[in-house]
Structures are given as C-alpha cells and as structure tokens.
Amino acid sequence: MVHSVVEDQDYAPLLVYIGTLSLLFATVGFLLVAIFRNVMVSIVMIATYVVTEYLTNGEVMPWYHAMAFVSSPFSFRDVMSKAIVNGGLAGFFLLLGQTVLSMVLTKR
C-alpha cells in the first residue's frame, strides 16, 4: 500500500535514518532520566523538541536539527550525513548518561 503511494522508494535509507534517529532519542532520554531521575521530564523535553522541529521545519530554533526535512523520497545521499552525526551524538549521549548514572549510584 505504501509502495503504491510512493513510487521508486528505496526503503534502506529510510530504515537507516529512522534507526539512527530513534537511537538518538533513546540515548537522550536515557541521559535525561539519569540526570533528572524522572521519566516525565525526559518525555516532555523530547516531545517539545520533536513538535517544535516538525511544526517549524527546523527554522526557528538555533540548535542542531536531527530531523531531515526532505520532500522527495529518501536517498543515501540525503540520509548518510544525518545518520553519521546522529549515531555519533547517540554514542556520546550514551557514554555521558552512563557516566552520570554511575556517579549517582556511587554516591549512595
């Protein structure tokens, strides 16, 4: 059904893009939970970022735009730069979240 709507779509770039984006949001959520020790703060902050980015197409806020605003079907050329940066940031946030969590646990 989706293939009939979007012709000539290669789904591998889309899978790479969505996979690295979800990994980025998961690690940001982990870091925020480790810092604030509250899941709702993490969810609200991530939801606010996502809603702001989608409603403004990434034109209002001056920070990093993890989403790729591409109107045509995704190609590897469109996705790979975002995937590499998102993957790198996800690794950084994972290490930072683990460091914060270990510091919190050793203080007890």
**Domain boundaries, given as residue ranges, for the chain:** 20-68+77-107
Report d(CA 88, CA 20) in Å as an integer: 9
Longest alpha-carbon distance in the chain: 57
Report d(CA 95, CA 93) in Å as an integer: 5
| Tokens, residue 64 | 């990093």
Query: Lowest-confidence range among 13-27, 45-59, 64-78?
Result: 64-78
Q: What are the tens digits of pLDDT across the range 68-87?
A: 777 777 778 878 888 999 99
Residue whose entry in the numeric block shows the structure tokens 């996979």: 19
pLDDT range class, residue 53, cuts 50, 70, 90: confident
Give the residue among 19, 17, 22, 2 at the shortest CA–CA distance from 78.
Answer: 17
